[in-house]
Amino acid sequence: MNWKNVLIVGAVVLLPASIMAQANILNAKKPQDVGVRTDAQKEVDNDAPLAYGYVDDRDILWSKTLWETIDLDERVNFPLYYPTDTIDIGSDRRSLYHVLMKNIKNGKLDAYADSYFTEKRNFGDLTAALSKTDTLDFGYEQMNAGEAVSEEFIARRDITAAEIEEYRIKGIWYFDKRQGELKYRLLGIAPVAPDVNFIDQENPDKVELFWVWYPDAREVLHEAKVFNQRNSAQPISFDMLLNARRFNAVIYKEDNVHGDREVKDYIADNALFQLLEAKRIKEVIRDREQDMWAY
């Protein structure tokens, strides 16, 4: 079989996947049919996130837990940020924040207060961090006069996908002695936004809105697709993007004897030295695999 035949066979094999990736757009008789899979497509669709292999504790020769920051101002991280406005775009395209919030609201995902996942929070507990309500001066005048405050004199501000400035992730690098290689496992992810109570002020503090245990979120993140700039017929899932580390992140904390203190706690007021320290930690982990084979 020559190379021409090989290419033809490969194209035929990939054709069904390409057609299914079109989300029924070529067969839709109405705009509402776009993105709705037929019964036949659902029957042959066994798409699911690739399951993690079992790793016994005795097989972990070495490990290091890291916390990293994904800055959404960087171009490579844009797939996690956009789209921020869902009014004029299809329902099949949502930002990572929209996907997380939707599934926390409907109970498919659990939210936690911190990266150690010790305190679970329901959606009502998140209200104080996600929105604020303020009464205008005219509203106070009505209140002092014993009248009900009109809706127009109540100002509400909510955290939306546009306000998300970064994501923080927690993961573990470990050396699997059975397979003889260094691996990474993502454990948690948290959206970070300005404090809603001071969001209109200059340089407000950033806060973690909530943490999500990543293994629990893999199913919903696999169903949510990320726009592929190189080929819109072949979108990838958020789960694939995050597990493949198709983003840029900077280390801001590692597990240590000082109560897991952050880099900024021992290198204060020097962003350059903090960045160099993050790179130093990354190099130590990168060299670990090579050192395992040194005699």
Residues 118-129: tens digit of each pLDDT: 999 888 888 888
CA distances from 189 to 100, 179, 192, 268 (A): 10, 27, 10, 25
Mean pLDDT of 78-95: 85
| pTM recorded for the entire structure | 0.80
Q: Using 50, 70 and 90 to split pLDDT, how confident is the model at 199?
A: confident
- Per-residue confidence at 281, pLDDT binned at 50, 70, 90? very high
Average pLDDT score over residue span 267-288: 93
Residue 9: phi and psi, rounded to 5, are: -60, -40
Neighbour tally for 68: CB within 10 Å: 22
More confident residue, 105 or 202: 105
pLDDT at 2 (0 to 100): 55
Q: What pLDDT score does 229 carry?
A: 81
Q: How far apart are CA 176 and CA 52, in angstroms?
A: 14
Average pLDDT score over residue span 144-154: 74
In the chain, % of residues over pLDDT 70? 84
Calculate the average pLDDT of the chain. 83
In angstroms, how far is the first alpha carbon of the chain from the final one?
46
Backbone angles phi, psi at 42, to 5 degrees: -65, -35
